[in-house]
């Protein structure tokens, strides 16, 4: 029997995603929490060579983190490692509405779909909870006057969707046929036929794309401060980026590390003003500094850990080398549309929807297929706008199915 070991910690969205993927495959694993046990933490670092969680081992094979496991899944190489050979036959189920994705857009669509009597099934996908799980304080959610943790808000959404009667499925869709009705979605643990589909697969964090960045991933390069920040307590770190995510990472890390340097390729931030003001206050105190008009051109290190970054001026072209113990990348996201690019119209990677004021605003290029949230939004990309578009998509799906039933009856 395959033995799976996963090192995790408290408040780790990527750990949650890794666990959800393994559960979706019916795989049992031994979870080792390193949050409070320094000896176990040291064991994980020695065994994996990484300062990042989760770290996953299948028998004696070191898989790496969630991104590594997701890459294996995308390449079709994870199942053989888990001892799942060939293509197993799973039960086929039929649904009026299937929602793909478990962020604010997906849960909102499920809640509205359930209230409309569409008996939705929601398929969680790889990134359970979406980007909101990597957000610490959510201060712009209406009604959240006392502040909310992103992970707590996602949990509330999930419980709300479940209470409305939504069927929640821990599965990952690996192929989709949207060329005919009913639509056919094939997952790791089931096949789903759907009269209507709402795609709410969100977006995934970008990396810089440097070979040296890949070489040091998990060894000082990270895209999740809440996951990996505690490995660098009282050390010096760099955050790359200038939007909301980057400044939120910098603010979170400033409570853990000795000093934060923000490297941004522009001469101004694009984040909300309130975040800029908070970062400026830390700059004034000396806890944070900013290097403007520069980008990271190379990650350097020794003994398998990050120690320096080579920066290049975006205006001047000059180069400089700065010392650091870690680099946290927060430069934006790419929409998760790969699965649908052959069936649906896209622009710059985002799904194209009808828009306008005549209804069916969230419909894609295929009637009966709707899109909500960041997967179709290159502009706003907020939790509240994602939730709103999820509600719109469910209302559009209800209207579509009603019109179809009336046409058949006529």
Q: Are 373 and 105 in contact (CB under 8 A)?
A: yes
DSSP code per residue over 321-385:
EEE-SEEEE---EEE--GGGTTTS-EETTEEP---SSSS-TTB-SSTTEEE-GGGG-SS---HHH
Q: Among this protein's residues, is 15 annotated catalytic? A: no
Q: Are 198 and 370 in contact (CB under 8 A)?
A: yes
The token pair that represents 98 in the structure block: 């299937």
Q: Among this protein's residues, is 12 annotated catalytic? A: no
Q: Where are the beta strands (DSSP E) in 152-202?
A: 167-169, 173-177, 183-187, 191-199
DSSP code per residue over 23-46:
HHTT---EEEE-SS-HHHHHHHHH
Rounded Cα distance, 179 and 366, in Å: 8
Q: Among this protein's residues, is 227 annotated catalytic? A: yes
Q: Are 199 and 370 in contact (CB under 8 A)?
A: yes
- List Cβ neighbours of 340 (8 Å cut-off, separation of 6 or more): 176, 178, 199, 346, 351
Rounded Cα distance, 105 and 336, in Å: 14
Rounded Cα distance, 354 and 400, in Å: 14
- Identified catalytic residue from 67, 68, 171, 224: 224
- Identified catalytic residue from 16, 171, 227, 396: 227
- Identified catalytic residue from 16, 68, 171, 228: 228
Q: Are 82 and 1 in contact (CB under 8 A)?
A: no
- The burial class, CB within 10 Å (0-12 / 13-18 / 19+), for 184 is middle
Cα maximum dimension of the chain: 74
Q: Are 244 and 135 in contact (CB under 8 A)?
A: no
Q: Which residues are catalytic?
A: 224, 227-228
């Amino acid at each position: 029997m395959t033995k799976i070991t996963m090192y995790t910690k408290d408040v780790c969205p990527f750990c949650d995603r890794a666990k959800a993927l393994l559960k979706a495959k019916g795989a049992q694993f031994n979870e080792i929490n390193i949050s409070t046990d320094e000896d176990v933490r040291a064991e994980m670092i020695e065994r994996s060579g990484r300062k990042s969680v989760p770290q996953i081992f299948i028998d004696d094979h070191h898989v790496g983190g969630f991104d590594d496991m997701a890459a294996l899944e995308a390449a079709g190489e994870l199942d053989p490692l888990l001892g799942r050979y060939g293509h197993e036959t799973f039960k086929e189920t039929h649904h009026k509405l299937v929602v793909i994705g478990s962020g604010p857009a997906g849960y909102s669509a499920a809640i509205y779909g359930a209230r409309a009597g569409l008996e939705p099934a929601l398929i969680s996908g790889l990134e359970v909870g979406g980007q909101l799980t990597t957000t610490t304080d959510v201060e712009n959610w209406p009604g959240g006057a006392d502040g909310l943790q992103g992970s707590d808000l996602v949990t509330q959404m999930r419980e709300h969707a479940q209470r409305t009667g939504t069927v929640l499925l821990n599965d990952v869709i690996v192929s989709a046929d949207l060329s005919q009705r009913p639509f056919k979605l094939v997952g790791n643990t089931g096949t789903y036929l759907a009269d209507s589909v709402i795609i709410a697969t969100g977006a995934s964090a970008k990396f810089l794309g440097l070979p040296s960045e890949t070489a040091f991933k998990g060894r000082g390069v990270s895209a999740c401060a809440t996951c990996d920040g505690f490995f660098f307590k009282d050390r010096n770190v760099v955050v790359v980026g200038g939007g909301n995510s980057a400044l939120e990472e910098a603010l979170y890390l400033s409570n853990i590390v000795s000093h934060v340097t923000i490297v941004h390729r522009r001469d101004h931030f694009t984040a909300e003003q309130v975040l800029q003001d908070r970062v400026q206050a830390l700059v004034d105190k000396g806890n944070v500094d900013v290097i403007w008009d520069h980008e990271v051109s190379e990650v350097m290190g020794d003994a398998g850990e990050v120690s320096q970054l080579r920066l290049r001026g975006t205006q001047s072209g000059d180069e400089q080398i700065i010392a650091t113990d870690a680099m946290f990348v927060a430069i934006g996201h790419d929409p998760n549309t790969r699965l649908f690019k052959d069936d649906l119209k896209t622009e710059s990677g985002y799904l194209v929807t009808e828009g306008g004021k005549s209804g069916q605003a969230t419909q894609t290029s295929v009637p009966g297929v709707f899109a909500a949230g960041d997967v179709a939004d290159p502009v706003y990309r907020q939790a509240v706008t994602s939730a709103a578009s999820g509600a719109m998509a469910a209302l559009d799906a209800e209207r579509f199915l009603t019109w179809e039933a009336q046409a058949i009856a006529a």
